[in-house]
């Protein structure tokens, strides 16, 4: 499958993506679950998996064990990730995983040798489901202690790192009875070796795109606090936590700023089918696009209306000021640059160019205010802006700022929900009638 022109599509066709929340096998902090931490780890894994491989939420499955994950799907391979495991990067990630499927005879994962029998680290494993079926669907193997009869491997002389991560395990045809500790995948490894099939560690290509939150190897409560708001400065002696927080900050910053949400692209929300008698009094809308124009065209406008343009990106505010001050609405491509060759009035849904121009000239004459803020990261500033712009009828367009990838990477569910609720509370206290349009914060996981 490695020669595919669209590696992401081919992966989706041949690989089931499954998330599991099994207890960590060798975590220092033990196995006591932290539900809020587990939820945070799950949404991070789901967010990055969906973005990296162009998946929809329904393309992800959630299971309570590796055995359930294997039994539930039907595709050629099953990629099983524990909550907190992350694939992130360019299209090369999908290509690397396709190459992994080419060499995964049955099992591929982080092979571990830590004093007991060989096992697969719980963070991530790739299973060739057709090989699993030919082997009569053996149990994956859960952590256990005691005496068991297992296959004896020929261990690679080289390691991925340190001295406990062999590159591969080859079959020898021999078995032994062993009294030891057993981790995840021990039985699948043994059955693979008995069948004469090599067990492979992750190659360098996919490994370079992988990250893992070793939350239960440190202080889970500290991890929960840090991952709840990764924008805050972090002082910790946990190098793993510090590395993950730095990675998440960088990943959030790398998401393109949508300074111009081009017309013709779908808004991340539906405009309600309402009209205000006499027009809307006050509208809050992101400066980065043209949702304000679509909303006002749909719900009505009056000449005393106030438009509050907000954005955390100063470039978006600067562009919106420039548009309102200097653009005549005629040739957006000439004004904004050749990278935007669009028929503006058609793409915004206006009946004709004349109707768009009438709207734009009227829009330019309204009272405009520009505020640099992020409603999610700065909920108090958003509340203050609503209080300052008290009006009878108010609409707030939040687009997807409470629920996009940047939001989910930076803040956990509780903080996203609290910021949204504070906005609703301010509107209730300062407007007779208010409408919020956009996507509210969602948990973004199932199961």
Residue 336 lies in a domain: yes
- Exposure string of 119-130, with b = 16+ CB inside 10 Å and e = fewer, is bbbbbbbbbbbe
**Is the pTM of the predicted complex or chain greater than 0.85?**
yes
Instruction: Among 193, 228, 263, give the residue marking a domain's end.
Output: 228
324 and 394 part of one domain: yes
Q: Are 171 and 313 contained in the same domain?
A: no
Residues 292 and 430 in one domain: yes
- Chunk the chain into consecutive blocks of 10 residues (it has 447) and report each block's average pLDDT, rounded to whole numbers: 77 96 80 88 95 91 96 96 94 94 97 94 97 98 95 96 95 96 97 98 95 94 96 91 96 70 52 80 91 88 93 89 92 69 59 89 96 96 95 92 93 96 97 92 74
- Residue 255 lies inside a defined structural domain of this protein: no
One domain for residues 284 and 431:
yes
Is 311 part of a structural domain of the chain?
A: yes
Would 444 be classed as within a structural domain? no
- Expressed as residue numbers, the domain containing 319 is 280-438
Within a domain: 165: yes
Domain count across the chain: 2
71 and 143, same domain (yes or no):
yes
The string of pLDDT tens digits covering residues 310-361 is: 999 898 899 899 999 999 988 877 777 665 545 455 556 788 889 889 999 9
Say if 272 falls within a structural domain: no
Domain boundary at 167, 198, 228, which? Answer: 228
Res 91: pLDDT: 85
- 134 in a structural domain: yes
The confidence score (pLDDT) of residue 257 equals 57
Whole-number pLDDT of residue 180: 93
Give me the pLDDT at residue 430, please.
95
pLDDT tens for each residue of 176-217: 999 999 999 999 999 999 999 999 999 999 999 999 999 999
Residue 210 domain-assigned?
A: yes
Is the domain of 221 the same as that of 291? no
Final residue before a domain boundary, out of 207, 228, 249: 228
* Domain CATH code at residue 315: 3.40.50
Whether residue 186 is found in the same domain as residue 297: no
Shared-domain flag, residues 347 and 287: yes
Give me the pLDDT at residue 289, please.
80
pLDDT at 271: 75
Same domain, 287 and 224: no
Are 223 and 284 contained in the same domain? no
Q: Are residues 190 and 74 in the same domain?
A: yes
Give the residue among 49, 18, 46, 208 at the shortest CA–CA distance from 129.
18
Does 178 lie in the same domain as 324?
no
């Amino acid at each position: 499958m490695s020669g595919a022109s669209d590696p992401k599509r081919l992966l989706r066709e041949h690989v089931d993506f499954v998330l599991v929340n099994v207890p960590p096998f060798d975590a220092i902090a033990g196995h006591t679950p932290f539900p809020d931490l587990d939820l945070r780890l799950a949404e991070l894994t789901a967010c990055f998996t969906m973005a990296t491989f162009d998946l929809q939420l329904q393309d992800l499955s959630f299971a309570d064990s590796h055995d359930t994950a294997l039994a539930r799907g039907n595709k050629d391979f099953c990629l099983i990730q524990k909550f907190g495991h992350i694939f992130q990067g360019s299209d090369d990630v999908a290509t690397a995983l396709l190459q992994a499927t080419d060499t995964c005879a049955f099992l591929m994962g982080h092979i571990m040798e830590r004093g007991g029998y060989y096992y697969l680290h719980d963070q991530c494993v790739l299973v060739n489901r057709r090989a699993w079926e030919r082997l009569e669907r053996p149990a994956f193997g859960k952590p256990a202690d005691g005496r068991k009869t297992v296959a004896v491997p020929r261990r690679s002389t080289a390691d991925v790192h340190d001295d406990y991560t062999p590159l591969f395990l080859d079959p020898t045809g021999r078995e032994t009875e062993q009294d030891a500790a057993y981790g995840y995948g021990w039985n699948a490894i043994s059955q693979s070796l008995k069948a004469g099939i090599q067990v492979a560690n992750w190659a360098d290509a996919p490994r370079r795109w992988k990250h893992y939150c070793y939350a239960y190897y440190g202080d889970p409560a500290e991890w929960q606090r840090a991952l709840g708001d990764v924008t805050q400065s972090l002082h910790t002696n946990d190098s793993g936590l510090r590395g993950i927080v730095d990675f998440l900050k960088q990943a959030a910053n790398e998401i393109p700023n949508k300074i111009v949400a081009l017309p013709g692209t779908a808004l991340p929300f539906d405009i309600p089918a309402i009209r205000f008698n006499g027009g809307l009094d006050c509208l809050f809308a992101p400066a980065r696009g043209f949702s304000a124009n679509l909303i006002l065209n749909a719900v009505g406008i009056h000449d005393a209306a106030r438009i509050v343009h907000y954005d955390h990106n100063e470039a978006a505010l600067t562009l919106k000021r420039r548009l309102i001050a200097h653009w005549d609405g005629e040739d957006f491509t000439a004004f904004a640059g050749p990278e935007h060759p669009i028929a503006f009035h058609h793409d915004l849904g206006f009946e004709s160019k004349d109707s768009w121009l009438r709207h734009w000239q009227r829009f330019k004459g309204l009272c405009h205010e520009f505020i640099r803020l992020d409603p999610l990261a700065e909920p108090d500033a958003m509340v203050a802006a609503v209080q300052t712009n008290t009006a009878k009828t108010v609409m707030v367009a939040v687009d997807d700022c409470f629920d996009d990838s940047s939001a989910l990477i930076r803040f956990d569910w509780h903080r996203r929900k609290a910021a949204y609720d504070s906005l609703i509370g301010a509107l209730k206290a300062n407007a007779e009638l208010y409408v919020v349009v956009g996507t509210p914060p969602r948990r973004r996981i199932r199961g």
